Amino acid sequence: MQIRKFRGVDVRATLDAVREELGEDALILETRRSASGGFVEISAVIEIDEPASGKYSPGKYASYETSSPKGHSPKGHSPGGSYNAGLQSGSYGSQYISEEDGTSHVLRELRGLKDFLSVISVRDETQGGKNFLRLEQEMDKSGIDRSFIHDVLIRTITRAAEAGDGTDIDTLRSRLKSAVLGEITTKNPISDSGQTVMALVGPTGVGKTTTLAKLASIMALKKKKKVALLTMDTFRIAAVDQLRRYADIIGVPVSVAETPEEVQRLLREYKDKDLILIDTAGRGRGDTEQMQKLHALSELDVKVKFNLVLSVNTRDAYLYDTVRRFGGVNIDSITFTKLDESPEFGPILNTVLYSGKPLAFFTDGQRVPEDIEAASSKRLESLFLLN
């Protein structure tokens, strides 16, 4: 057994250090804030004869392994880092098996409890205890990463107390809203002036082609922009037909490009267009050929923006894995689809925290073009039950 003390600027960063150093099995003995409030000290213990690796991570309660590079990530675990290598060697599959097992479930619960206990002393100092719990439960229902919930709640309650704002629920909720929304950026990747070339990339079946058709339809028919479609998806027999049908209905040209060189040639042909949308094949993980093609696309003379399309109906671990997989191209923004099919929207926030990328669009149905909207703060507030 080994007892270690860790110091950091806040609970989350310090817990990150504990996990990184001692692994997921470390037991938190005590969390203490310095008298000046300047730092947090955590005492943790680890059985050294047990494996200290994150056997069950990245799981819902073990999110320190998979946090954001934008200030929430432990060293070496950012997208494309050493953690990625671990996944490629096959630990990803075993995580699913272990999470189905009852013992692991109890362990995960215990870990959640440990994390909760570790923040209680900080929480009590702020006299916002009851409200802390209530807001925590509300956010937890949305599927928001627990370590982030603790972090943002502690920050919110501490700041409210410091500012002499009081810790009533409405004040806290309003501060919490700003704190959460402050972590998220949104952007419209389609320029109002000048040309935009945007490729929709992502896993199989998430809704890339449907989203592309929605965008093409709105831009061509409602906004009267000159739009052209390209597809690099020659992998699936019906894929070209699917896009052609949309292009015919919308009344925009569509071309097939098997290689990045053909894309380059077609982009020259379409130089008068305002918007060129590129559909790509959604292939499984480990498809290096597809990733090489996308990488080559990112090196063309013309700037291609990559919009990563993800379905909200997906486990956090798989979303993070996808972000890492597409780390080879510079993802410009993220679109979340299938909001109509999901009971919780925390994965959206978790992915933004993990990737540090802005959100572009949300889709919530199959209708083209109706079921799409630009990602906005207002919508985010309602998704995360913050209003």
Query: Among residues 208 and 379, whose Cβ is nearest to ligand GTP?
Result: 208
Q: How far is the CB of 242 from Mg ion (least distance, A)?
A: 7
Stretch that binds Mg ion, among 62-70, 90-98, 202-210, 332-340 (CB under 5 A): 202-210
Q: How far is the CB of 310 from ligand GTP (least distance, A)?
A: 10
Is 321 one of the binding residues for ligand GTP (CB under 6 A)?
no
Q: Which of 51, 166, 205, 251 binds ligand GTP (CB under 6 A)?
A: 205
Q: How far is the CB of 177 from ligand GTP (least distance, A)?
A: 26
Q: How far is the CB of 360 from ligand GTP (least distance, A)?
A: 14
Residues 204-263 that bind Mg ion (CB under 5 A): 208-209
Q: How far is the CB of 280 from ligand GTP (least distance, A)?
A: 8
Residues 6+ apart with CB under 8 A from 220: 226, 227, 250, 251, 252
Cα 188 from Cα 186, distance rounded (Å): 7
Is 234 one of the binding residues for ligand GTP (CB under 6 A)?
no
Is 290 one of the binding residues for Mg ion (CB under 5 A)?
no
Q: How far is the CB of 311 from Mg ion (least distance, A)?
A: 13
Q: Which of 94, 178, 288, 366 binds ligand GTP (CB under 6 A)?
A: 366
Q: Which does 251 bind (CB under 5 to 8 A by kind): ligand GTP, Mg ion, none?
A: none
Q: Tokens 């992502």 map to which residue?
A: 202
Q: Which of 24, 233, 274, 321 binds ligand GTP (CB under 6 A)?
A: 233
Q: How far is the CB of 282 from ligand GTP (least distance, A)?
A: 2
Q: Which does 54 bind (CB under 5 to 8 A by kind): Mg ion, ligand GTP, none?
A: none
Q: How far is the CB of 361 from ligand GTP (least distance, A)?
A: 10
Residues 6+ apart with CB under 8 A from 381: 177, 181, 387
Count of chain residues binding ligand GTP (CB under 6 A):
20
Is 307 one of the binding residues for Mg ion (CB under 5 A)?
no
Q: Which of 247, 371, 379, 383 binds ligand GTP (CB under 6 A)?
A: 371
- Residue 358, token pair as written in the block: 């802005």
Query: Among residues 211 and 350, whose Cβ is nearest to Mg ion?
Result: 211
Q: Which does 371 bind (CB under 5 to 8 A by kind): Mg ion, ligand GTP, none?
A: ligand GTP
Single-letter residue type at 260: P
Q: Which does 207 bind (CB under 5 to 8 A by kind): Mg ion, ligand GTP, none?
A: ligand GTP
Other Cβ atoms within 10 Å of 4 Cβ, number:
15
Q: Which of 162, 341, 370, 373 binds ligand GTP (CB under 6 A)?
A: 341
Q: Which does 210 bind (CB under 5 to 8 A by kind): Mg ion, ligand GTP, none?
A: ligand GTP
Three state DSSP letters for the chain: CEEEEEEECCHHHHHHHHHHHHCCCCEEEEEEECCCCCCEEEEEEECCCCCCCCCCCCCCCCHHHHCCCCCCCCCCCCCCCHHHHHHHHHHHHHHHHHHHCHHHHHHHHHHHHHHHHHHHHHHHHCCCHHHHHHHHHHHHHCCCCHHHHHHHHHHHHHHHHHCCCCCCHHHHHHHHHHHHHCCCCECCCCCCCCCEEEEEECCCCCCHHHHHHHHHHHHHHHCCCCEEEEECCCCCHHHHHHHHHHHHHHCCCEEECCCHHHHHHHHHHCCCCCEEEEECCCCCCCCHHHHHHHHHHHCCCCCCEEEEEEECCCCHHHHHHHHHHHHHCCEEEEEEECHHHCCCCHHHHHHHHHHCCCEEEEECCCCCCCCEEECCHHHHHHHCCCC
Query: Among residues 166 and 205, whose Cβ is nearest to ligand GTP?
Result: 205
Residue ranges binding Mg ion (CB under 5 A): 208-209
Residue ranges binding ligand GTP (CB under 6 A): 204-210, 233, 236, 239, 282, 337-338, 340-341, 363-366, 371
